[in-house]
Amino acid sequence: MNEADFIAALRAVPLHPGARGLMDDCAVLTVGAETLVITHDMMAEGTHFRADADMADVAWKLVASNLSDLAAKGAEPVGVLLGHMLGRDDARFLNGLHEALATYGAPLLGGDTVAASGARSFGLTAIGRAVHTPVPARSGAQPGDHVYLTGMVGRAMLGFEGLSEHLAAFNRPVPRLAEGIALAPHVTAMMDVSDGLLLDAWRMAEASGVTMALNSHEIPVADPARSGECLRWGDDYELLFTAPSAAQLPVAAHRIGVVTARAEAPLILGGEALHDPSRLGYRHG
């Protein structure tokens, strides 16, 4: 099974309504007067970080990638649960974990630790508190909306390749928590860009039952000579969202396209219909 097949199969198991049909970044649960937002992300050696990576950076990125999902729901962090596989430089991992949790006000709630052989992997569950309801979903985009992106894509790719001015974008990404909280009352749909802008836009369009027509010349990329790679590489953790054309946005964002009624494909880039999601970004399997 690849990632898409496995997730599709999971929809046959008993699902909580808060799981949103496994079509979103997070689960959303109402508990008393609070709406909780819960997400879980993993990082694996050789896929998300190199075998010789600074473990402090690995810990930071593990936290940041989960908090980015909360940001896409306009949620403020409550705390995290850690799944840790013991190995080299555990003290460095703890240093990075401390930095990230202190920076974003996300205290540790608990978790589990294991010892095993082979490549290492880590998991983190982040719990947040929604600051606005309804909580933004991938599925709310409407024809006539504009499509926006909070920042540049492609910086993580260049950082992975070793360009010094972009190293931090890959090693220590910044979750757009403040932007997500500010945007939540204004958007119709929102998600973070983790697997590539084109693939994530395709997913949002599919979830919403619409077509997104993106203008490639309006999308800010870190290397214009490699714009296609920048649009597909991922790990940027910017926010992709839609909002009515008359919306007064509280944060700076780039308008990169429009939403239309479903046409021949979920995604159009520069006038070209894109049908095959396997060519649009990173997918496991």
Residue 158 has pLDDT above 90, yes or no: yes
Q: Which residue has the higher pLDDT, 276 or 141?
A: 141
Mean pLDDT in residue range 223-234: 95
Alpha helical stretches, state H, 209-282: 227-233
- For residue 144, give the CATH number of its domain: 3.90.650.10
In tens, the pLDDT along 251-262 reads 999 999 999 999
Domain boundary among 130, 162, 178: 130
Domain boundary among 130, 156, 186: 130
Residue 60 sits in which domain range? Answer: 3-130
Q: Report which of 275, 170, 267, 265 is spatially closest to residue 256, judged by C-alpha positions.
A: 267
Mean pLDDT in residue range 221-229: 96
Q: What pLDDT band is residue 6 in, cutting at 50, 70 and 90?
A: confident
The CA distance from 81 to 73, in Å, is 19
Q: Report which of 89, 168, 78 is spatially closest to residue 128, judged by C-alpha positions.
A: 78
Q: Is 77 in a helix, a strand, or coil?
A: strand
Q: Domain check: are 147 and 268 in the same one?
A: yes
Mean pLDDT in residue range 192-209: 96
Mean pLDDT in residue range 260-285: 84
Mean pLDDT in residue range 93-97: 98
| Stretch (H or E) spanning 4 | helix 3-10
Q: What pLDDT band is residue 153 in, cutting at 50, 70 and 90?
A: very high
Give how far the C-alpha of residue 89 lies from the chain's centroid of Cα atoms, to the nearest Å. Answer: 27
pLDDT reported for residue 284 = 47
Q: Domain check: are 97 and 71 in the same one?
A: yes
Mean pLDDT in residue range 214-227: 97
- For residue 47, give the CATH number of its domain: 3.30.1330.10
Token pair 């240093």 is at which residue?
A: 95
Report the mean per-residue pLDDT for the chain.
Answer: 94
Residue 274 has pLDDT above 80, yes or no: yes
- For the record, the structure tokens of 51 come out as 């075998």
Phi-psi region of 209 (alpha: psi -120 to 50; beta: other; left: phi over 0): left
Residue 11 has pLDDT above 80, yes or no: yes
Q: Domain check: are 197 and 118 in the same one?
A: no
C-alpha distances in Å from residue 55, one per residue of 42, 108, 120:
15, 18, 11
Mean pLDDT in residue range 79-86: 97
Domain boundary among 85, 107, 130: 130
